[in-house]
Chains A and B, each alone.
Chain A
Amino acid sequence: MSEVSYIDRPNRTLAVYAIAYLLFLYIPVLFLPLFSFNDAIYVAFPLKGFTTKWYEQLFNNEPMFAALLNSVQVGAVTATVSTLLGVFAAKAVTRYRMPGKNPVVGFIMLPLVIPGIIFGVALLILMSRLGVPLSLYTVTLGHIIVCVPFSMATLIPRFEGFDKSIEEASADLGENMFGTFWRVTLPMVFPGLVASFLLCFTISFDEFIMAFFLSGTEPTLPIFIWNQLRFPQRVPGVLALGTIILVISFAVVFFAQWIRNVGIHDKTKRGM
């Protein structure tokens, strides 16, 4: 007798498909590190030889570091503000009976269903009519608008995931709103907070379409990369940069997953 139930019996064809699908996902991405070590300007087979010179050049690339710093600043501010707004909103919509809640939530989620280019040009027109010069601030504003729905979508399940009476118990035991938030709500939603921050940071860090319209003279990293891609001799440098971003992203994802697992672990145990 097989251990698994009738419904879950293994399916060889599907397993093969799954492997092929993963290859389809990974192979294009893995060409970036491959060619970043290739000793040739043109990205083509056959490979010429191993070199780390593109990485060495990268470390002396002042404009690249400036763009990187810009992106980190924009990403950090975006992630902090969006997560903060997301926490308030998620708490409000999961904890209070409010008339008109659904349309309001729908409105906040609107950026999810509107192409980014529309937001980009709409904000561009607004800024120019108001006479606000384009800068990293305008990019940040645009990114916050786009990230708040993601932050809320990440945090709402987290709030729904724990019993409302846990917060009520804290109020019952004498803590006011702030005390309850600090001693109970925050520790309970902390993994969601980290996840929201990382997600918003990543979205902002990678966002190109809006930044293209809203950035002034200081480019974010995607804008910098876009400008480099027009020059063939700069392409290997971009591949090296892409490889570094890839490695850091992987590390961050595993870290985020680890944080999430800590949360899930507690939850499954609690539910025994």
Chain B
Amino acid sequence: MSSSDPMISIRSVAKSFGPVRAVEAVSMEIAEGEFFSLLGPSGCGKTTLLRMLAGFETPTSGEIFIDDQPMSSVPPHQRPVNMVFQSYAIFPHLNVRANIAYGLRKQKLPKQQQNAMVDEMLELIKLPGYGDRRSHELSGGERQRVALARALIKRPKVLLLDEPLGALDKQLREQMQLELRALQRSVGITFVFVTHDQEEALTMSDRIAVMSKGRCLQIDTPNRLYEAPSNREVAAFIGTINFFDASIKSVNGETANVDAGVLGEVKAPVGDGTFASGMKVLLAIRPEKLSIESKKPKRSAHAVEGVLDAAAYLGERSHYYVRVDGIERPIAVSAQNAHRMLEGIDDQPRPVWLSWSSDSAVILDAK
């Protein structure tokens, strides 16, 4: 396999369960050594797609190639992939050692070598000395590690992870995110990671596929997904964003000038789709890209006056909602609390000014 070939190639794969279309003609390629996430709300088809990679579901149409081999006639037990299940699926009748060694039987290794491999795995997951424990003697985080070791000992070409951190509490989850990322770098195996938690996907992944209702909306790096969403659904799903109705005045390559009503004329980069003068579009701006001040700013390219409607104190930052005449929904603004606010946040209705720089908005198809 040449280095430019993808490890996984999914070619217009669709899956229906009776009348329900779980996945609709999804295509994507995943490179060797990549940490790739499938992100979406529950029921978006991400787990079905993962289970098709593992071989537990068969595509209704389309084909999956792993390491250039078509997978449709390869049963799960012969695929070069291994999976970490959402429930971990630790065999309850076997101890940790036997769980980890489970997949080695076919390799007919001498007992000694097998033991050495298991010990090495126990070291890797930082659970040395846990070999004799049963699954019911493990905590959630420990089970997750055993499930990981059991899959990794097979040296799979691809490791599939089905929301493996979902059952853990917040602190442990954040710790495991870092560990998992470090582990992936050290073993160099391709990871395909399913999650509904956008923060988790953004923290860990090289690239993310955002899915919704069985379709793939955008595949990109975390920062491009956040800063340059290619369509309205992705922009709305990842983080919070303000949408403003606008119409195109002129297009100039990657950027366009739009007439955004009370916001005035705004210049911004464009997302997916073709744009022409006069088209109705959406101007999207993230809350933290907006500055809120009580006086009109002097230097900003764009500014608009409004009235503070509500405010919420969240510790390291505060959220403000500002009403602007001519715009239906209040505009969300997020600001760092750079100064101590011992007396609490001032949420009295008062005139305020919002401002932003010209590269912080994005223009999207209105659909």
Contacts and interface: CB of A to CB of B under 8 A. Distances in A.
Interface of A: 97, 162-163, 165-166, 168-176, 179-180, 183-184, 187-188, 266-267, 269-270, 272
Interface string B39-64: 00000000000000011100000000
Contact of A174 (B77, B87, B92, B147): B77
Which of B78, B103, B150: most chain A CB closer than 10 A?
A: B103
B136 A168 contact: no
B105 interface: yes
Interface residues of B, number: 28
A174 B75 contact: no
A52 B291 CA distance: 101
A173 B82 contact: yes
Contacts of B150: 169, 173
A169 B83 contact: yes
B106 A166 contact: no
Given A187-B93, A270-B92, A173 B56 contact: no
A172 B75 CA distance: 9
Interface in B67-87: 75-78, 81-83, 85-87
Contact of A269 (B56, B81, B136): B136
A172 B77 contact: yes
Interface string B93-111: 1000000001101100000
B183 to A, nearest CB: 19
A188 B102 contact: no
Interface in B308-328: none
Nearest to B81: A172
Given A173-B151, A187-B93, A165 B85 contact: yes
B56 A168 contact: yes
Interface string B137-167: 0000000000100110010000000000000
Contact of A176 (B75, B89, B103): B75
B356 interface: no
Given A187-B93, A188-B93, A270-B136, A171 B77 contact: yes
Q: Which 10 residue pairs of A and B lie closest in terms of their CB atoms, listed nearest first?
A: A173-B103, A269-B136, A169-B89, A165-B89, A171-B76, A165-B85, A270-B136, A187-B93, A166-B89, A171-B77
B9 interface: no
Which of A166, A174, A272: most chain B CB closer than 10 A?
A: A174
A173 B154 contact: yes
Nearest to A266: B92
Nearest to B17: A97
B92 to A, nearest CB: 5
Contacts of A169: 83, 85, 89, 91, 147, 150
A51 B66 CA distance: 80
B212 interface: no
17 contacts: A163-B87, A163-B89, A169-B89, A169-B147, A171-B56, A171-B75, A171-B77, A172-B54, A172-B76, A172-B151, A173-B150, A174-B78, A174-B103, A174-B154, A175-B102, A179-B77, A188-B93
Nearest to A186: B93
B107 to A, nearest CB: 9
Contacts of B154: 173-174
B231 interface: no
Given A168-B76, A187-B93, 15 more contacts: A166-B91, A168-B85, A168-B89, A169-B83, A169-B85, A169-B89, A171-B56, A172-B54, A173-B77, A174-B103, A176-B77, A184-B91, A188-B93, A269-B136, A270-B136
A16 B55 CA distance: 59
Nearest to B147: A169
A146 to B, nearest CB: 32
Nearest to A270: B136
A266 B136 contact: yes
A175 B105 contact: yes
Which of A163, A172, A270: most chain B CB closer than 10 A?
A: A172
A171 to B, nearest CB: 4
Contacts of A165: 85-87, 89
Contacts of A172: 54, 76-77, 81-83, 151
Interface string B119-138: 00000000000000001100
B54 A272 contact: no
Nearest to B137: A269
